[in-house]
Structure 1
Amino acid sequence: MAALYWLLYITMVILVLPSCFQGSNARLHDHKSKHHRETRGMISEAPVPPPAEPPAKSFDIDNSSSDPCIFDVTAFGAVGDGSTDDTEAFRSAWRAACAVNSSILLVPSNGVFMITSTIFSGPCQPEFIFQVDGVLMPPNGPKCWPKKDSKRQWLVFYRVDGMTFRGAGTIRGNGEEWWNLPCKPHRGPNGSTLPGPCDSPALIRFFMSSNLTVRDLYIENSPQFHVKFDGCEGVHIEGLSINSPALSPNTDGIHIQDTKYVGIYNSLISNGDDCISIGPGCSDVDINNVTCGHGHGISIGSLGMQNSEACVSNISVRNAMIRNSDNGVRIKTWQGGMGSVSDITFDSVYMDNVKNCIIIDQYYCLSKECRNQTSAVYVTNVFYTNIKGTYDVRAPPIHFACSDSVPCTNITMSEVELLPFQGELIDDPFCWNAYGGMQTLTIPPISCLQDGMPESVHETISLQCL
């Protein structure tokens, strides 16, 4: 039986390999236009600044080579009818493509391909591209999920240095049945909040990989996080459209943790949780020209959960638009954590009907059982420049709630102009143990920031990450 399997596998590879030697006829068109996808329930276009530059240690986003070798999953037995399990065909295509220089694993545009939870492992040969031009999706909900498969992840790319994940197609998450599990928090009519959370799969996860490019895909309705980067270095994300309903729980658009040298550019994200979330262990992240719709805004954190250490530094958010969101730009930490958040810049961010436009919350908690603790993640050197737009008057537009024992320091505000979307301001901006200053007058006026540095500043500095 094993000999028959390998004979069949080698035969499929031989059938595919001729496309590697057909010159220009074997070239794959690079579908870079995504305008046809931006109208699928997404928010309107983001402001267009000058072209974004990648971070200092980013990598070339173009996979330049001679004629690529194309491995079409249908040549390995994938059916693409939306119901047949095509997992084994994808795994076979991956093994073949991963072993060849300048190869393309192609998911063609004329199919809807269903595969189960899969780990695609490297290392692969240089200039490897995973191109999705059709529809790729998991089984439809927890009842259809194979019992042997992990319920915490669907597509995992492990040690795939130098890979590009792109295409003109759609990654369809089929998350609706997962959101309705009884232990999921519900914010809508007839919903309830019960103990949880349930296991639900993150849709796409990159783990322990470097020199990655993810671009031009439409990703929708993930059961949990849409795209997640964990333990990666050198990530370029561009031209993504991510969409799920406002009431879909835990559906962060892009989440990064223990990852550095990241560029996120020219993307549209509208979902039920953080538009972009930055977890512990992240540094040198550049976010430019991103539009966030309904959701929880752009968040650093939560950090310091269960008395853990969190180190986040050198994060830049520029030319962003946030609309109809529960939060704008947010830093959130748990009491009892350690470490620091430092050198954070929010520059040229436009708010449209946003609650909590600017918020630092060092009392973040998901229940009423949390208690104040003496240690906290130290927040320092946070710059807000040219933050303008309108806010939902149900919450103050500016909220700095810093730890009793570890104050926030060096908060700088310049050209902040926030007006009510409708109605009148109910609460003034709020500050607690927050130190900083204003380079210009702000709207609304902020009189609660304390000048200078706290007396305990030397003890606070010792808590910073090395």
Structure 2
Amino acid sequence: MSRTRKAYLVFVFILVLSLRDECTGARDFKKKSLILLSSSDDTASSDGDSKVVDVTTYGAKGDGVTDDTEAFQAAWTSACEQNSSTLLIPADYNFLVGPLTFSGPCNSNVLFKVDGNVIAPVNPRSWTSKPLNWINFSKLNGVTINGNGSFDGQGAAWWKISQLEDTDSSENGSKLPSMRPTALRFYGSFDVSVQGITIQNSPQFHLKFDGCTFVTVVNVTISSPENSPNTDGIHVQNSEEIEIYHSSIACGDDCVSIQTGSSAIRVHDINCGPGHGISIGGLGKGGTKACVSNVSVYDSNIHDTLNGLRIKTWQGGIGQVKSVSFSNIQVSNVRLPIDIDQFYCDKTVCSNQSSGVYISDVTYQKITGTYVKTPVYLACSDDVPCTDLKFQKIELQPVATQEKSPFCWNSYGDQQSDVECLQPGRPPHDPAQTLSPEDRC
């Protein structure tokens, strides 16, 4: 046999072995996947894969009437103790769950597979007198929530005026307490992912991140009526490296609210409305220091909202908002598409104060669509003007036939658009030069 033919036979033999190994590996992978998907009991798979912890095996009835809180807590305790686990909330069930906390640290990452519906109670006896949260995720390192299921806060019971008045409500009271809880809150957590789920009708904020790092929110639906009070869609504070995208948010307040201590925030491909738009603030309430930086909002649609792209700060506050970009935003039927308000006040009267949070390096680029009241409203502080603002390709038309003039007060920067109201250059008393070290971030 020739040397060439021998080499060819060796090559064919090696190729056959390789294909056999690949097929075996594919069968093994498929087998592991089937084991994971079909597991509904509290037993680990033989090959050491993720342990599936089904809440129904811990006594959860899922009939929408029985209180399943203890069963959820027991299932969490088991999942948190595993080296790798999936906590399964199965489809075709309605789990009535009272306020609870899923706390860490856990032995490894935990996957919440939410395919069923989780419902908040409206019985006052299920709540403390001042409930902060309905479901709280605390001090976790690596947690993912995904699935086709939903969390329903049943907020309508809380929104009624008669039930929001201060009363003697308590755990044994006859009315829900006046303080309304956030539906889902993540606190002090790292590497968080929320995917695919629906959060609806929260008594207050729908989804909140506080003190978190590396967070992804994708393909999430948030829904509550436009007249539901303070029902922000996604609320971010004291957190960094956050990405929110490919999601739809309809609520009674800000679709996305970015608060103090937040940086490296990316919000894109969002459908927002109804609601109050996408906001930074309010910041600096009560003379406090507020710091927000490196925020990008882009490739999104905002419709039928009170505001579009908003920065709001209280008089008397200190700190900085800097390096903010709003780009490629389509607005439709929005009352105030571009809004900076350093005189923010949620009461009838607020006292005038000289200090303010310094706002600088904010870009508005390719903001197009229709407005109801005013296309641009910039009310910057008398003592701490807004600087380095940039307008590029702002094309906003009134819903009615009469066009309204933009309003810009103490606002400095560069404008390359049809909207012209910025003052060029730097202000006489430039905050960049005069801001004290204590006021800087």
- TM-score when normalising by structure 1: 0.81
Q: In the alignment, which residue of structure 1 is the partner of 2:417?
A: 441
Give, as a single letter, the amino acid of the residue that structure 1 aligns with 2:97: I
Q: Secondary structure at the match of 1:28?
A: helix
1:371 — aligned with what? 351
Greater per-residue helix proportion = 2
Matched letter for residue 78 of structure 1: A
* Structure 2 residue 437 is the aligned partner of structure 1 residue 459: no
> 1:83, 1:150 → 2: CA distance?
24
Structure 1 contact 103–128 (Cα < 8 Å) conserved: yes
Q: Which residue of 1 aligns with 2:153?
A: 173
> Gaps spanning 5+ residues in structure 1: where?
1-21, 30-64, 186-196
Which residue of 2 is the match for residue 130 of structure 1? 112
Q: Which residue of 1 aligns with 2:222?
A: 242
Alignment of 1:185-334 (within 5 A): 198-334=178-314
Aligned residues: 390
1:170, distance to aligned residue in structure 2 (A): 1.0
| Superposition deviation, residue 347 in structure 1 | 0.6
The answer as to whether partners of 2:109 and 2:141 remain within 8 angstroms in 1 is: no
What do the CA deviations read for 1:179-236 (whole angstroms, capped 9, x no partner)? 1134859xxxxxxxxxxx9300100000010110011001111000000000111101
Corresponding residue for 2:400? 422
**Bigger Cα displacement from structure 2, 308-317 vs 160-169:** 160-169
Question: Unaligned regions of 5+ residues in structure 2, if any?
Answer: 1-30, 39-46, 166-176
Match of 1:62 in 2: none
Q: 1:33-86 CA distances to partner (integer Å, 9 max, x unpaired)? A: xxxxxxxxxxxxxxxxxxxxxxxxxxxxxxxx9732100000000000001000
AA aligned opposite 1:287: V
**Contact between 2:130 and 2:178, CA under 8 Å: does it hold in 1?**
no
> % of aligned pairs identical?
43
Q: Is the 8 A contact 1:300 1:332 kept in 2?
A: yes
Alignment check: 8 A CA contact 1:26 1:69 kept: no
Matched residue SS, 2:161: coil
The answer to whether the aligner puts 1:71 opposite 2:48 as a matched pair is no
Letter in 2 for 1:82: G
Give 1:414 shift. Answer: 0.3
- 1:283–1:314 Cα contact (<8 Å) kept: yes
Structure 2 counterpart SS, 1:90: helix
The SS at the match of 2:274 is coil
Greater C-alpha radius of gyration: 2
CA distance in 2, matches of 1:411, 1:73: 52
- Is 1:83 matched up with 2:65? yes
Structure 1 position 149, deviation (Å): 6.8
Return the alpha-carbon distance in structure 1 between the equivalents of residues 161 and 300 of structure 2: 33
Q: Offset of 1:437 from its aligned partner?
A: 1.4
1:431 pairs with one of 373, 390, 408: 408
1:460 CA drift (Å): 3.5
Code of the aligned partner of 1:219: I
Counterpart secondary structure, 2:102:
strand
On the 8 A contact 1:117/1:150 being kept in 2, the answer is no
Structure 1 Cα separation of the partners of residues 308 and 270 of structure 2: 13
Q: What amino acid sits opposite 1:124 in the alignment?
A: C
Q: CA offset at residue 167 of structure 1?
A: 1.3
Contact 1:246-1:272 within 8 A present in 2 as well: yes
- Decide which of 33, 36, 41 is 1:27's aligned counterpart: 36
Alpha-carbon separation, structure 2, partners of 1:145 and 1:338: 42
Point out which structure has higher relative CO (alpha carbons under 8 A, 6+ apart). 1
After superposition, what is the alpha-carbon deviation per residue over 1:100-147, rounded to whole angstroms, capped at 9, x for unaligned?
12210000002100111101111112231011100001102xx43425
* Partner Cα distance (1:94, 1:267) in 2: 27
Q: Which stretch shows the higher mean deviation, 122-131 or 404-413?
A: 122-131
Does the aligned pair in 1 maintain the 2:239–2:261 contact within 8 Å? yes
Give the structure 2 partner of residue 111 of structure 1.
93
Contact in 2 for aligned 1:201/1:223 (Cα 8 Å): yes
8 Å CA contact 1:276, 1:298 repeated in 2:
yes
- Letter aligned with residue 299 of structure 1: S
1:345 is matched with 325
- Judged with a 3 Å threshold, the aligned counterparts in structure 2 of structure 1 residues 250 and 184 are, in CA distance, closer, same or farther, namely farther
Aligned to 2:13: none
2:391 is aligned, of 413, 417, 423, to 413
Structure 1 pair 385–434 and aligned structure 2 pair: CA distance change class (3 A): same
Contact 1:26 1:68 in 2 (8 A): no
Higher strand share: 2
Letter in 2 for 1:397: P
Displacement of 1:326: 0.4
Cα distance, 1:462–1:414 mapped onto 2, change above 3 Å: farther
Q: Report the CA distance shift for 1:332/1:148 in structure 2 as closer, same or farther (over 3 A).
A: closer
Letter in 1 for 2:84: S
